[in-house]
Amino acid sequence: MYRTHTCGELTLNEAGKAVTLAGWVQRVRNLGGMTFVDLRDRYGITQLLIDEKASSELKAETAALGREFVVQVVGRVVERAAKNPKLPTGEIEISVNKIKVLNAAELPPFTIEDETDGGDELRMKFRYLDLRRNPLRKAMELRHKMAYEVRTYMNNEKFLEIETPYLIKSTPEGARDFIVPSRINAGQFYALPQSPQTFKQILMVGGYDRYFQIVRCFRDEDLRADRQPEFTQIDCEMAFVEREDVLQTFEGLAKHLFDAVLGVKFEGDFPRITYAEAMKYYGCDKPDIRFDMRIGELTEAAKGKGFGLFDSAEYIGAISAPNCSEYTRKQLDELSEWVKRPQIGAKALVYIKVGDELKSSVDKFYSVAELQNFVEITGAKKGDLLLILAGAKKQTLSALSALRLEMGARLNLRTEGVFKPLWVVDFPLFEYDEPTQRFYAMHHPFTSPNPDQIDLFYSSRKEDLEQVCANAYDFVINGVEIGGGSIRIHDSKQQRRMFEILGFTPEAAEEQFGFIINAFRYGAPPHGGIAFGFDRWCATFGGSESIRDYIAFPKNNAGRDVMIDSPAPVGEEQLRELSIKINKEEKID
C-alpha cells in the first residue's frame, strides 16, 4: 500500500497514529538540526518533521530531497508546536522515521505554489506542473462539480444525455469550421461541429423530447482572450415547449448550480430585459447589473447649441459615476485618454461635475439650466460625475458600455462573489450587412421569429424584416454571456421563408440543409433549446475572467498547444494517403 492517508486529511484526531503518506516535495526547510518538509498531493499539504534525533541515514536522505521529488514517508502523527490555522492539517505534523524516494525530479522551471513566478507560456508548456498548483486544482474540482451537478439536475428533469458525432458536415453557425480530410473518400472533408445544433433538432424529430450533452465544440475563429478553438458546451434541446418552458427549466438549472456549487440561493425569478433595453441602458447585450450606472440619452437635449462635437453626433449619451465629482484635472485627463484609446474609440470625453454647483468642460456652450437638464435626464445625484460621449450611435453606445464597466471596476462596484444573472430576450432575428447587401441570421437560421410578428416575417420590405424579433434568449451573469438559445422553426414553410430571406436559393438550401429539411417533413414537433458555454460558466463561478484556467489543456493565444507542440506539419506519406498536396511556395490568403 503506497499510502494510508492523503496529505489533506490528518488532524489531531489521528495524533499518535502510525501513517504512510505519498506525494510531492513542495518545500524543504532546514532549521539547524531539524528539517521540515511540506508534502503535497491533490488533497492538501502535510508537514513532515525530521528531527535532530533522526538517524544519520534519514538525515542524509532528507538532505538529498529536491523540489517535486515523489516520496513515500512512514511516520507518526504528532501535535505541532507552532500551529497553522490556515491549513486543515495545520495542527499536526508527521514525525518521520522512513523516507523513500519513489522518483526524483528535475528542478521545475517555476515555483509550484499558489503564487508562481512562471509566465503564461511557460506554465502551459509544463502544464502538468501547473496543474499541481492549488488554483488549478481548485478550478478542476469546480469544473468537475459543475459537470456532476449539471447531470444530476438534468437527469432529475428527465433529460437524456446523448452523444452526437464529431465528424460531421459544416453547421451553419457563422464561424469557420475546422475540417478533417477523409482518406477513404479522397478529396472530401468532414467538419468538426461548431455545435450539435442540427443533430439535437433531429433528435427532437426522433422523439427524444429532452436531450442534453456536455460536448466539445470547435470554431476556427481568430482568437480572443476568452476564446478557445475547442470549448465545451452544455447543449440542450426540448420538444413541445414554448419560450417560457425553456426559460423556467434552465433558470432551474442555473439556480441548482448556484446552490450546489457555490451555496448561493436565489429568491424569485431572474430579471429579464429585452435586447432593445439592454442596448439603450447598458450599451451592450450582456450587461453587468451588479451596479446601476445606466446610460442616459442626451441627443435631443444637447444638440443644436453650437457645440460642434455634439451637433454633428448621431447620438449623445452619458453615465454618472457616483461620488466622483471631486475628480482632479489629472484624473479627468487620464480618463479622457482612456476613452480615446483605439479599443474604445471615443473622440472626446465631456464631463459635468455635480457638486454644490455644476462644473463642466462645456460651460461655454450650455447654460446652467441646460446642464441641470442633463443631470435630471441621467438621474445623476449630488457628488456624481457625469461622463458624456458622442458620435455614431452604435460606436458611442459600445464606448459608453466599456466606460461604464471600467468605472464600475475602478469604483469597486463589480463585487467579486456577488452574482447577478439575467435573461436578455427579443433579439433581432436578422442583421443586415451593408457591404454584402443581405440579411444574416443573428442567432442561426433555425431560430423562429416571435410568434406575434409572423406577418412582418413574410413582408418583402427590408424595414419590416429589420423589426422582426427572434424567439431567442441569452443568459448572462455579471456581464458574461453564459448561454443562448431559441425556439426553433418547425414549420417547413417558415423554414423555406427563412432561407429565402438569408439569400439561399431552394437548391442551395437543399444542398446544405437537405438532411434537416427532410427530417422536418416527417413530423417535427415544436421545439427549442439552449446551449451554455461550460468553460465560461466555470470561470465565472470561479471568479476568473480566463476560461483557460478552467480547461486542463488549453491552447495559447495563437491557437497552439505549446505542451505537445501542435499544430505541426505531417509527413509527405500521410498527406499522400489523404490525397492532399501542399504547395509551400504558394501562400493562399
Residues of span 510-549 touching ligand ASP by CB under 6 A: 529-531
Nearer to ligand ASP, 194 or 360 (CB): 194
CA distance 446 to 109: 50
Closest approach, Cβ 224 to ligand ASP, in A, equals 16
Nearer to ligand ASP, 118 or 485 (CB): 485
Q: Please select the residue that binds ligand ASP; options are 46, 197, 249, 320, rule is CB under 6 A.
A: 197
Closest approach, Cβ 489 to ligand ASP, in A, equals 12
Nearer to ligand ASP, 250 or 351 (CB): 250
Q: Taking Cα atoms as reference points, which of 387, 185, 405, 173 lies closest to residue 288?
A: 405
In the structure grid, which three cell numbers stand for residue 144, read together? Answer: 468537475
Q: Please select the residue that binds ligand ASP; options are 46, 164, 195, 453, rule is CB under 6 A.
A: 195
Closest approach, Cβ 528 to ligand ASP, in A, equals 8
Region of 218-226, 390-398, 484-492, 555-563 interacting with ligand ASP (CB under 6 A): 484-492
Nearer to ligand ASP, 219 or 294 (CB): 219
Closest approach, Cβ 291 to ligand ASP, in A, equals 28
Q: Is 449 in the site for ligand ASP (CB under 6 A)?
A: no
Q: Where are the alpha helices (DSSP H) in 304-422?
A: 308-311, 329-340, 368-378, 393-410
Q: Is 201 in the site for ligand ASP (CB under 6 A)?
A: no
SS3 state of residue 560: coil
Nearer to ligand ASP, 391 or 484 (CB): 484
CA distance 165 to 520: 20
Nearer to ligand ASP, 9 or 209 (CB): 209
Q: Where are the alpha helices (DSSP H) in 411-469?
A: 454-457, 462-467
Q: Please select the residue that binds ligand ASP; options are 484, 501, 504, 540, rule is CB under 6 A.
A: 484
Closest approach, Cβ 483 to ligand ASP, in A, equals 8
Residue 269 dihedral angles phi and psi, to the nearest 5°: -80, 155
Closest approach, Cβ 531 to ligand ASP, in A, equals 4
Q: Taking Cα atoms as reference points, which of 168, 379, 415 lies closest to residue 288?
A: 415
Q: Is 485 in the site for ligand ASP (CB under 6 A)?
A: yes
Closest approach, Cβ 443 to ligand ASP, in A, equals 6
Cβ atoms of 339 and 350 closer than 8 Å:
no
Following DSSP, what letter does each residue of 463-499 receive, concatenated?
HHHHHPBBSEEEEEETTEEEEEEEEBP--HHHHHHHH
CA distance 239 to 526: 6
Nearer to ligand ASP, 509 or 531 (CB): 531
Q: What is the DSSP letter of 447?
A: B
Closest approach, Cβ 200 to ligand ASP, in A, equals 7
Number of residues that bind ligand ASP (CB under 6 A): 8
Q: Taking Cα atoms as reference points, which of 125, 145, 127, 126 lies closest to residue 136?
A: 127
Region of 52-60, 331-339, 341-349, 479-487 interacting with ligand ASP (CB under 6 A): 479-487
Following DSSP, what letter does each residue of 363-374 receive, concatenated?
TTTS-HHHHHHH
Alpha carbon distances (Å) from 309 to 312, 316, 390, 513: 6, 10, 7, 49
Angle, vertex CA 505, rays to CA 504 and CA 511, nearest 5? 85
Q: Please select the residue that binds ligand ASP; options are 232, 360, 450, 486, rule is CB under 6 A.
A: 486
Q: x/- site string to ligand ASP, residues 150 to 189, per CB under 6 A?
A: ----------------------------------------
CA distance 375 to 9: 59
Q: Which residues bind ligand ASP (CB under 6 A)?
A: 195, 197, 484-486, 529-531
